[in-house]
Amino acid sequence: MPSTSPVTLDPNPPSAAIASILSAVATNRDAIAGLDAVRDRTADFPTPLAAQLTGVALHPDSRQLADHALDTYWADEDRQQNLLRSAGTDREVIIGAGFHAATYAAIRVLSGYPKPLVLEQRDRVGGTFALTTWPTFRLNSPNRPGRAGIAGDQATNPNHLPGAPIQAANLSMTEFQTNTDIAFVIRVALAQFADVVTNAEVLTAAGIDYEEGVELQIADRGPLRVGRVIDARGIGDPRDQALANGTTILTFDQFLQRMTSPWPLRGVRRVAVAGGGDSGKCTVESLLGIAPPPRMSAAALDTVERIDWYAPGLPTTCEQWRQEIRGRYQGIGRYLRADRLGGRRLAVLQRRAQPVALPDTTLIDGRTYDLAVLCTGSEEIPIDGLSLDAFGLLTGAGESPVAREHYDLPAYRVGPHARLPFTQREREDGIAEIPGNAVSMWRTSTMTAALAATLPDPGQP
């Protein structure tokens, strides 16, 4: 039965970027079905804008149109130049346009402060989750409604983005959501609460003095003086991208891009995957056909016959896998079993791999492969003036670290980029037992939100 509770008036009317989405969808006959579907259920949402964005996100045609509208809006060069020219020492700048940039911007604006300016080095906003416009991997945390919280607390939603106009739990009933669900949430949060400039790579950061802010040097755009810098560059760029050739040796990012193309694995029969982290597991899922399906693929054309997974420390048998690996990746374990002829489609080799590119193939330890995928982690691309050793831990009201603060500049690192240590409480709760939790968004999102809610205006002590 529909709710009869009154709809809360939205204190933040749609931004120009959000308005571009709604206008594009409302004038398209094929895409408007999503908006029509929620029109009679608006009272079930906290605001009319949340209802509209949910309708847009739930209909494939309208979501695709919305993504295109946002990309077009953000790419407008005149708008970008006006934003850069109007920036000054009363303005906050966020480096990076991913989950934590969206969290900071949303909480900042909802706390009564002006919109931050976001600088993204790529041409697409949304961080790792938005590397592709088609679903290519799933989130680790279960899909459930609720507020932000820690793993294991069934009353909370680990995939929650604090302050966002819409949450990922609104977009899907699946057990584990796809990357494009959380990407849509990130993108609309930034569209609503930030001014975004794409293709803006920050090269250096230098102090004017603490009161006067920071001067950023942006590639091909010149210097930019701002009052405060929030460094939210996430987990970094692929560590072994120098080894990749884009054809027979790919980074994880390049592999995701390949999986969105038609017939992504046609002619690929033997594959090597290097690295046993989450990106390695997502890659193996795609190769086995248990990840979100490619846009255009078929078993007769896109079946990988053999996967050698070079991953020190991972279980090598199905039984060990079921005992040691968390539920999100349980499905991989059954492929470690031998078939009735004694062959296995997936083999875990507990050693590191160093691929060598040949003209039409790649070579690892004397074995040839049609494709090698490097999932060996990420590393920071340094910005002169913002290196990690220039920052110290900043604690919040509860004496737990929420960010890193620059020793000399009004600058802060947030999210995975801050490399925040586990707290004593997190060790007691068992969160620290899984090293990957150090960069999990559910762990650090509330820390970023706390920083955004408590920092004064730029220039104030």
Output the pLDDT for position 459: 66
d(CA 265, CA 255): 10
Q: Taking the domain 239-379, which CATH number applies?
A: 3.50.50.60
pLDDT per position as a tens digit, 342-388: 778 999 999 999 999 998 999 999 999 999 999 998 999 999 999 99
Residue 197 to residue 168: CA distance in whole angstroms: 24
| CATH architecture group of domain 80-236+404-454 | 3-Layer(bba) Sandwich (3.50)
Tens-digit pLDDT profile for residues 86-131:
999 999 999 999 999 999 999 999 999 999 999 999 999 999 999 9
Structural domain boundaries in the chain? 1-75, 80-236+404-454, 239-379
Sheet of 362-364: strand order equals: 356-357, 362-364, 367-369
Place of tokens 């002619």: 267
Which of 7-16, 39-48, 183-192, 210-219 comes out lowest in average pLDDT?
7-16
Of 20-29, 137-146, 157-166, the range with the lowest mean pLDDT is 137-146
Name the 3-class secondary structure at 356: strand
Tokens of 405: 């603060």
Q: What is the pTM of this model?
A: 0.92
Q: Is pLDDT above 50 for 9?
A: no
- Alpha-carbon distance of 416 to 318, in angstroms, equals 32
pLDDT the model gives residue 148: 63
Work out the percent of the chain whose per-residue pLDDT is above 70: 93
Query: Which regions of 257-355 does DSSP assign to beta strands (E)?
Result: 270-274, 306-310, 346-349
Q: Which residue has the higher pLDDT, 458 or 202?
A: 202
Cα 364 to the chain's mean position, in Å?
Answer: 31
Confidence (pLDDT) at 1: 35
- Identify the residue with better confidence: 209 or 88: 88
Look at the chain and count its residues.
461
Between helices 16-26 and 60-75, what is the axis angle to 10°? Answer: 140
CA distances from residue 191 to 74, 179, 431, 457 in whole angstroms, order as listed: 9, 18, 33, 22
The whole-number pLDDT of residue 211 equals 63
Residue that is written with structure tokens 């690892």 in the block: 364
Nearest to 413, CA basis, from 392, 398, 435, 433: 392
Percentage of residues of the chain with pLDDT beyond 90: 70
Collapse the DSSP code of 43 into the 3-class scheme (helix H, G, I; strand E, B; otherwise coil) and give the result.
helix
Q: Which two tokens stand for residue 41?
A: 């259920």
**Residue 254 to residue 259: CA distance in whole angstroms:** 9
Range scoring the smallest mean pLDDT among 13-27, 64-78, 204-218, 285-299: 204-218
Instruction: Give the pLDDT confidence score for residue 7 in this predicted structure.
Output: 40
- What is residue 212's predicted lDDT score, i.e. its pLDDT? 75
Average model confidence (pLDDT) across the chain: 90
Smallest CA-to-CA distance from 165 within 141, 193, 125, 200 is with 193
Indicate if 239-379 has the same CATH topology as 80-236+404-454.
Answer: yes
* Beta-ladder partners of 309: 273, 348
Asked if residue 153 has pLDDT above 80, the reply is no
What per-residue confidence (pLDDT) applies to 6? 40
In tens, the pLDDT along 420-431 reads 998 888 888 888
Q: Are strands 371-374 and 249-251 parallel, antiparallel or unpaired?
A: parallel
Q: What is the pLDDT of residue 57?
A: 93
- Is 202's pLDDT higher than 60? yes
In contact, 230 and 414? CB cutoff 8 Å: yes
Nearest to residue 170, comparing CAs of 190, 187, 184, 191? 184
Q: How confident is the model at residue 149 (pLDDT cuts 50, 70, 90)?
A: low
Yes or no: say if 125 and 70 are a contact pair by the CB < 8 Å rule: yes
Specify the range with the lowest mean pLDDT, choosing from 209-213, 284-288, 353-357: 209-213
- Which two structure tokens, joined as six digits, stand for 107? 């909480």
For residue 357, give every residue at least 6 positions away whose Cβ sits within 8 Å of its Cβ, in sequence order, or none: 245, 248, 249, 363
- For the cut 70, the answer to whether the pLDDT of residue 4 exceeds it is no
